[in-house]
Amino acid sequence: MTASLVLIRHGQSEWNEKNLFTGWKDPGLTTKGVQEAESAGIQLRAKGFKFDVMFTSDLQRAQRTGEIILKELGVSNLPVVKNQALNERDYGDLSGLNKDEAREKWGDDQVHIWRRSFDTPPPGGESLKNTAERVLPYFKKEILPQLLEGKNILIAAHGNSLRSLVMELDQLTKEQVVKLEIATGDPIYYEIASSGKVVKI
């Protein structure tokens, strides 16, 4: 017996569109972001997915994406668990800044290190390593046991919180994960065996 696990990064947010560092700031979805979430829901419906619970972050762009997907699936009473552990990584002093302006202020190389290194955080913020240190314990304590019971789970979250999860599920190295791109509104599919063995589909 296996359980389905689907990861979905929120649709395009208003700050994605403006090329701003978002992190724990809480902008809504753009029209395109809503359409991406609807498209993901349609895709999941076409594949016949039925979920037992949805996990999402404390941020509205992820919550709204999950709501839209459930609506497309025709589900209105699914248990939804919201937790800060699944939030995007905190960009600290970069939050709200335009990415081009940040490069002008700190230089291309430094901003690239903050964005793409595994364990160098921006000032006042989190690295991908820091993000994984809150995402993975939460996954193992709250989500994995339900998968091992055979429950099908949808996680609607963020680029970096999901990169942390994919790193664990796909057994990626830190060099591999920093190159991993997770597109908005594009479901990632896994099957989890009752033994805990992960099968990506």
For the domain that residue 50 is a member of, what is the CATH number?
3.40.50.1240
Q: Does residue 105 have a pLDDT over 80?
A: yes
Q: Clarify whether 181 is annotated catalytic.
A: no
Residue pointed to by tokens 């800044």: 97
Tally of structural domains, the chain:
1
State the catalytic residue, choosing from 14, 38, 72, 88.
Answer: 88
User: Following DSSP, what letter does each residue of 112-150 receive, concatenated?
Assistant: HHHHH-SS-PPTTS--HHHHHHHHHHHIIIIIHHHHHTT
**Residue 201 has what pLDDT?**
67
Q: Clarify whether 36 is annotated catalytic.
A: no
Out of 45-49, 71-75, 168-172, 176-180, least confident range: 176-180
**Residue 98 has what pLDDT?**
95
Q: Give per-residue pLDDT as tens, 43-71.
A: 999 999 999 999 999 999 999 999 999 99
For the whole model, what pTM was predicted? Answer: 0.95
149: tokens are 């019971």
State the catalytic residue, choosing from 10, 36, 67, 158.
Answer: 10
> In which domain, by residue range, is 150 found?
2-200
